[in-house]
Structure 1
Amino acid sequence: MKIFVVMLYIGILLMFICTESLFLFITEQELHFQFTRHPNLADFFLNDLRSLYDITYVIQKLGHFICFFFLAMLLYWALQRWLLVVLISVGFAFLTEVAQLFFSRSGRLLDVGYDVAGLILFILLYMCYRFVEWLYSKVFTSEVRRH
């Protein structure tokens, strides 16, 4: 069942990724796919940081970050193996960005970085949670022993 939930989430992400216009999908619920046989693969290495002051750009990049945070969370929930979570998340980040080049979207290496940042935040928050849990158990155990 857990794997089904992860696969459903991945399927939804792919739908968002491959639709020609995410804006039209969100505002008018219109899905449109346009396959390009020979995209310019050099576009993958373009840097579009000059758009950093555009609110739409910032929202899109936050979307990358949040989507991959939840992907990592779901993968860890289903697999319980950090190496698999990292490999699948990073692999999926590369795959989706390259796939966008074939679907009239702008796939960028920089976006892989935003995706990986979401993964890293999940790992850091989970490690903090486990540390606090461990610390609490040590404090609670030592108080029980004193009484």
Structure 2
Amino acid sequence: MKFSSKGVNSILRLVWVIVWACVLAYFTCSVDPFHFHISYFHFTGRPHWRDLLLIDFHFLQPLYLISKIGHFCGFMIFDLLLFNLIRRSTPSACIAIALGIASELFQLGFGRDGRLYDMVIDALGVGVSVWLQKKLWTNHGR
């Protein structure tokens, strides 16, 4: 069986999307994603949905800032990878935002803090990705 370079490139782009989705899933479901040697998954089965509305800003704590930057960059990268795969901005942004929302909802079931404002940060990352796509795509005459 002979593969064209275009087909191989499409497969590689799909692999990158899947790998990055797995990275995001790890950070979503791991009880302590910042300590890889002690990370584990703990499904609680009884999420506290009201926790989505809690506001617990800890601006002076370095891990808090790293977490928010991670949300922003993680979903910006995910959307860029999706866009590179499907070549359509709106569907890739919708999928990335849906995954951002789902990740926060899933966090509640894994003993993590799912927050509405994290959904907003994820969506802002996707928004920057869409802006970059428009800027770069139109500047290259495509």
Task: Give your verdict on TM over 0.5.
Answer: yes
Alignment RMSD (CA, Å):
1.6
1:53 aligns with 2:60: yes
Cα shift readout 1:50-100 (whole Å, capped 9, x = no counterpart): x12322211110000110110011000001112211110111001000000
Which residue number in structure 1 is paired with residue 16 of structure 2? 5
Give the distance between the partners of 1:24 and 1:63, measured in 2 at CA. Answer: 15
**TM-score, reference length from structure 2:** 0.85
Q: Which has the higher helix share?
A: 1
Give the distance between the partners of 1:107 and 1:73, measured in 2 at CA. Answer: 24
Residue 34 of structure 1, aligned match among 35, 38, 42: 42
1:22 aligns with 2:33: yes
Give the distance between the partners of 2:119 and 2:138, measured in 1 at CA. Answer: 28
Which residue number in structure 2 is paired with residue 141 of structure 1? none
Q: Match for 1:46: what amino acid?
A: L
Deviation, structure 1 residue 131: 4.0
Residue 86 of structure 1, aligned match among 93, 107, 116: 93
Q: Structure 2 stretches of 5 or more lacking a match?
A: 1-10
* Runs of 4+ residues over 6 Å off in structure 1: none
Give the distance between the partners of 1:54 and 1:100, measured in 2 at CA. Answer: 21
Residue 105 of structure 2, aligned match among 98, 101, 108: 98
Residue 112 of structure 1, aligned match among 105, 113, 119: 119
Q: Structure 1 stretches of 5 or more lacking a match?
A: 135-147
Cα shift readout 1:22-67 (whole Å, capped 9, x = no counterpart): 1222xxx333111111121100111223x12322211110000110
Give the distance between the partners of 1:5 and 1:132, measured in 2 at CA. Answer: 25
Identity of aligned residues (%): 28
**TM-score, reference length from structure 1:** 0.82
Q: Give 1 or 2 for the bigger CA radius of gyration.
A: 1
1:68 aligns with 2:75: yes
